[in-house]
Amino acid sequence: MIDAWIGGALALFFILCACGLVLSAATRGVYSLRAFVVFSAACSILMMFSSAVALASGHSFAIDLWRLNGWGRLSIRLDMLSAIFLFAAGLVYLPASLFVRNLVEVRFRGRYPTRRYGVLHFALMASVVLILVASDAPLFLISWECMSLLCYFLVNYEQSARMDVRAGYIMLVMSEAGFLAVVVAFLILGRGTPDWSFSSLAGMAEHLSGGAVWGVFLLGFLGFGVKAGLVPVNFWLPRCYTAAPAVFVPVLAGVTLNLGFYGILRLDAQLMSNHSLGTGLFALITGSITALVGILYATTENDLKKMLAHSSIENAGIIVAAVGASLVFHASGYAVAAAIALTAALYHMVNHSVYKTLLFQGVGEVEAATRTREMDRLGGLARLLPGLSVVFLVGCLSISAIPPFNGFVSEWLTLQSLLRSAVLLSSAVKILFALCGACLALTAALAVTCFVKVYAMSFLGIRRGDWRKVPGKAGRTQFPLAYLAVACLLLGILPTYVIPVLNRAVEPLAGASAAASLVPPFFTATPENQQLPPAFVNDFHNLGAQTGRHVLPGRGLVVMVRGSEKNPVVFAMSTSYSFVALAIFLFVTWFIATRSSRQRSVTRHELWAGGIPRLLPEMTYTATGFSNPVRVVFQAIFRPNIVEDSRETVAVHFRTAILRRRDETHLVDRLLLHPVGEAVGWLARLLAEMHHGRLNAYVTYTLAFLLIILVLFRLS
Amino acid sequence: MSFWFWHGLKKGVRSTHYPRKFESAAGVSPGRPVATEFDSATEAVLAAANCPVDAIVARGSAAEVKLERCIYCQHCHYGNPHLLEWNSDYEWTMAALGPGKYQPLPGAYHRSLHVMVVDAGDCGACLHEVKQLNNPLYNMHRLGIFLTATPRFADVLLVVGPVSENMRVPLLKTYEAMPTPKRILAVGACAINGGVFGRAFMSAGGAASVLPVDLLVPGDPPPPLAILHALLAVTGRKNPVAQMASLEGNS
Ligand code: SF4
């Protein structure tokens, strides 16, 4: 029965995808756009539906397709891990489909054929779903390659500048390199395998030697890390996100980024269960460094889109750090801790998709309305676009991990699971965990700075640039954005309902249930329950942990990990209760404030700006100024190249204007890309030395080569 | 090792006891000219003619002083035959609208008065005297009076300088930015009526021509204790002295 539902939904999805593809290509103008929106929205709803059914029932759906000669059977399997990623993808695709309409109308009409966009969009959607449900290497790799190519086309869809085209090329090269690494990883893994299905590959993994495990892990990790945006293979990401059209960036950040994590989890966590401590630590350290580097560049970046791209890197780092922690716990035999860390990773992945889509769409709106993305030129948008400013604020609060929004829950869980390293035996590992935890804590703090800057500089204050609002209907975009904002809030205040769902995917991977230990059943507690002794429940009853037990379903509203006798609670929180308390406090404050000020008169004068006659935009606090402390403190990392030109002088000592330029090269570019480029250039120059175009020389080369061959043959 | 606390204890309290006790140390105040009875009306007129800013007015055989005009040139104190009497006190703050016309701030401000100082084209003399209030000798914090940098927290606007054209708008904006109830102090001859600058093309001729001034502190510059007296008068802890002459003639 459930099989039929899931299978039907998936089949319908592919049919609707094909219909959408054909219709948006065959029709013109408004009709093409309508077909696009309707079919794309229907497809994303089907994605969510099929995965929701699978998650609710806990039942994996599997079906064999056909045989390929020499490759074995192609098969599809929607297990719990796929279902979670599929649900997240649907969650992002729905607003992204509705959002297209607005932007396409504003920007593309007449400039770019919308029909081509539709074709690419549906093809990408289908390949994403195929990646997620593929259960054998050939299907997975083919769809992965399709996805990479389609991403390249979509990024280059709106190419207007040379830089954009270059960004597309860099992305293509990187994703192809990543793809090759993944292929090699699969080839090593499946040496001598009877068929290429994931289940038999998992069987092969058990016989791998230590070196091969490291090889497969590293190749897979870096190969998939290209899509996930991990240091050091992420230099394509900020360039490409900036170049990509505003309608496509949410998909890039909310869907294809996740595919990288999916690959890492599939290959490194599921197929290879025989992990050493080292691989986990590698992932943990890489993740922490990625997070820190990402947020540092995000904080100092003034282009909204580029800033969000760097912040995606930061979030990817957090997720991978949690995955790494989980692998370490798993390798050391702490299944419960591993499950909690993995839950944190998946939770953060879902959260990041939701709020990053919200923010990228918000930036798309801002760009459509003002034709600029420079924070130093924006300002005062809250008055211009009040609805957008509210939802954007929700996005900013979520991403900077402010309760009661969703970012808080997952970042808190991640940090807490890193703190659980106290149970580990080796003190060297403990120190590494502590350092990574400090790294992530610094990241969280910088993220707050970063998004205070984003919201304050672009939405508050006064307008700094000479842009004018592009007239247009803003109402239509409010719905998808509001939907995402509500999702942010719900994911934030209902963690005890989300964790059991995530747990379905986590349990088979980690070998223990995260929900059982993270969400103590305060609502359904019985005196016989050994895990939850009545005295303990009583203590928490007095704190209010059982409030609402007769009204609400589920296990409880408190997220908590219990410890030993000596230290009964390791960590605990409840965003649900604190949200209610917050709402009540806010209401009471508002009530008292309005009551008490009823008799008073309020006089409003203009803004106090130090008494200057007229507050010019140039005088206000700029985005550059706001983030300058970060720039100065972390100068050792940024290594800026500051050029000071003081050409406008009256006399030697009397300068009327100083021109100060600051060039920065990204850390990864500086440490990896440029040295590699220089090495290749050096090699090419060396080869060019040999090619000076004289025939005699070439004949000599041939002769020498022939002689060497002959000597070798003689010897062997 | 430093024994700063011991030195401090040994020295004892050096702050002035004003307003509890009258401070009579030498040099705390330049004093002020007061109305003087002369032998004849001619002498009074001659005494009045000595004043460069017409701050002395002959009335019969008496020479009266309009203190708010006085620029403290001390011409009537030294070196001429018709000298006025000088009083060495410093409590000479007066209400701008006339004697008894000042409404002090209510009791809540008695021990918490925040003062915003605006330099409206001041030469630095009055500002320097205001600065002295922060030093250990005058120490206005012991009386609950504080300087603040933003008008949003200020209760008192202390204006020094003749209000130059460039500072007219900022001064008005500062006044508007202050929450009510608020009081305005014009400190120094310049802030009262323009002083030696008077009303000129770049000088508004005193704070009163821009803002509703409440209290005047004559002096050029007034000594710190005179300003302290004015700040105490703002909340009614001291009373402004009866006005010595009306302001009408000036503004
Ligand atoms: S001290 Fe004052 S009153 Fe005496 S002459 Fe000078 S300005 Fe006139």
- Partners of B215 in beta bridges: B95, B185
Per-residue confidence (pLDDT) for residue A462, from 0 to 100:
84
Q: What percent of chain B has pLDDT over 70?
A: 96
Answer yes or no: do B190 and B125 share one domain.
Answer: yes
- CA distances A11 to A60, A126, A537, B236, Å, are 16, 11, 48, 86
Closest atom of ligand 1 to CA, residue B50: 5
Q: How far is the CA of B65 from the centre of ligand 1 (A)?
A: 8
Question: What is the SS3 assignment for B94?
Answer: strand
Rounded Cα distance between A582 and A590, Å, is 12
Domain-located, residue B122? yes
**Confidence band (pLDDT; 50, 70, 90) for B249?**
very low
Last residue of a domain, one of B40, B67, B87: B87
Q: Which of A510-519, B185-194, B206-215 is least confident?
A: A510-519
Domain that residue B45 falls in: 32-87
Cis before B221? omega within 30:
yes
Pocket test for ligand 1, best of B36, B65, B71, B192 (most atoms within 8 A of CB): B71
Rounded Cα distance between A26 and A22, Å, is 6
Q: Which amino acid belongs to residue A206?
A: E
Residues in the ligand 1 pocket, defined by CB under 6 Å: B 33, 50-51, 53, 55-56, 65, 70-76
Helix axes A495-510, A80-103, angle to 10 degrees: 130
Q: How far is the CA of B71 from the centre of ligand 1 (A)?
A: 6
Per-residue confidence (pLDDT) for residue A156, from 0 to 100:
82
Q: Which residues from A are below 8 Å from B173, CB to CB?
A: 606, 608, 611
Q: Verify whether the Cβ–Cβ distance A608 to B152 is below 8 Å.
A: yes
Question: What is the SS3 assignment for A415?
Answer: helix
- The partner residue sitting opposite B170, judged by closest CB among A603, A606, A612, is A612
Pocket test for ligand 1, best of B75, B80, B82, B196 (most atoms within 8 A of CB): B75
Q: How far is B26 from chain A (nearest CA, A)?
A: 40
Domain-located, residue B173? yes
Answer yes or no: do B214 and B98 share one domain.
Answer: yes
A274 has a pLDDT exceeding 80: no
Q: Verify whether the Cβ–Cβ distance B169 to A611 is below 8 Å.
A: yes
Q: How far is the CA of A104 from the centre of ligand 1 (A)?
A: 80
Q: How far is the CA of B72 from the centre of ligand 1 (A)?
A: 5
A194 has a pLDDT exceeding 80: no
- The partner residue sitting opposite B174, judged by closest CB among A603, A606, A611, is A611
Per-residue confidence (pLDDT) for residue A477, from 0 to 100:
61
Compute the count of residue pairs across chains A and B with CB atoms less than 8 Å apart. Answer: 21
Pocket test for ligand 1, best of B54, B66, B74 (most atoms within 8 A of CB): B74
pLDDT tens digits, residue range A369-412? 888 888 888 888 888 888 889 999 999 999 999 988 999 999 99
Candidates B245, B246, B241; CA nearest to B90 is B241
- CA distances A561 to A458, A520, A571, B138, Å, are 40, 8, 6, 61
Per-residue confidence (pLDDT) for residue B242, from 0 to 100:
65
Candidates A288, A627, A260; CA nearest to A449 is A627
Q: How far is A590 from chain B (nearest CA, A)?
A: 22
Answer yes or no: do B71 and B124 share one domain.
Answer: no
Candidates A599, A596, A605, A615; CA nearest to B179 is A605
Split into its structural domains, chain B has a count of 2
Question: What is the SS3 assignment for B81?
Answer: coil
Q: Which amino acid belongs to residue A514?
A: A
Long-range contacts of A104-107 (CB under 8 A, 24+ apart): A104/A33, A104/A247, A105/A33, A106/A368, A106/A470, A106/A472, A107/A245, A107/A246, A107/A368
Contact A94, A487 (CB under 8 A): no
Q: How far is A594 from chain B (nearest CA, A)?
A: 19
Answer yes or no: do B129 and B185 share one domain.
Answer: yes
Q: Are strands B94-95 and A72-78 parallel, antiparallel or unpaired?
A: unpaired
The residue among B173, B174, B182, B210 with the most chain A CBs within 10 A of its CB, best to mutate, is B173
A283 has a pLDDT exceeding 50: yes
For the CA atoms of A196, A199, A204, A210, the dihedral, rounded to the nearest 10 degrees, stands at 120
pLDDT tens digits, residue range A240-269? 888 888 888 889 999 999 999 999 998 877
Answer yes or no: do B111 and B154 share one domain.
Answer: yes
Per-residue confidence (pLDDT) for residue A472, from 0 to 100:
60
Per-residue confidence (pLDDT) for residue A516, from 0 to 100:
80
> Does the beta carbon of A612 lie under 8 angstroms from any beta carbon of chain B?
yes
Answer yes or no: do B119 and B217 share one domain.
Answer: yes
Q: Which chain B residue lies closest to A601 (C-alpha atoms)?
A: B180
The domain spans of chain A are 1-200, 622-663, 668-715
Q: How far is the CA of B188 from the centre of ligand 1 (A)?
A: 14
Per-residue confidence (pLDDT) for residue B245, from 0 to 100:
45
Q: Which amino acid belongs to residue A426?
A: S
Q: Verify whether the Cβ–Cβ distance B174 to A603 is below 8 Å.
A: no
Domain-located, residue B247? no
Answer yes or no: do B42 and B117 share one domain.
Answer: no
CATH number of residue B184's parent domain? 3.40.50.12280
Q: Scanning the structure block, which residue is given the tokens 């500089």?
A: A457
Of residues B180 and B251, the one with the higher pLDDT is B180
Q: How far is B177 from chain A (nearest CA, A)?
A: 6
Answer yes or no: do B69 and B37 share one domain.
Answer: yes
Q: Which residues from B are below 8 Å from A605, CB to CB?
A: 176-177
Per-residue confidence (pLDDT) for residue B154, from 0 to 100:
95
Q: Verify whether the Cβ–Cβ distance A611 to B173 is below 8 Å.
A: yes
Q: What percent of chain A has pLDDT over 70?
A: 94
pLDDT tens digits, residue range B233-247? 999 998 888 655 443
Closest atom of ligand 1 to CA, residue B65: 3
As a 3-state breakdown, chain A gives helix, strand, coil percent values, each rounded to 5, of 70, 5, 25
Answer yes or no: do B192 and B145 share one domain.
Answer: yes
A351 has a pLDDT exceeding 60: yes
pLDDT tens digits, residue range B129-179? 999 999 989 999 999 999 999 999 999 999 999 999 999 999 999 999 999
pTM: 0.83
B11 has a pLDDT exceeding 70: yes
B114 has a pLDDT exceeding 70: yes
Answer yes or no: do B98 and B211 share one domain.
Answer: yes
Q: Which of A270-274, A287-291, A446-450, B166-170 is least confident?
A: A270-274
Answer yes or no: do B168 and B188 share one domain.
Answer: yes
| Mean pLDDT, residues A119-128 | 92
Which value does ipTM take for this structure? 0.71
Q: DSSP letter string over A162-225?
A: HHHHHHHHHHHHHHHHHHHHHHHHHHHHTTT-SS-BHHHHHHHHTT--HHHHHHHHHHHHHHHH
Per-residue confidence (pLDDT) for residue A108, from 0 to 100:
52
A583 has a pLDDT exceeding 90: yes
A446 has a pLDDT exceeding 90: yes
Rounded Cα distance between A543 and A476, Å, is 45
Candidates A213, A240, A262, A285; CA nearest to A86 is A262
Answer yes or no: do B79 and B99 share one domain.
Answer: no
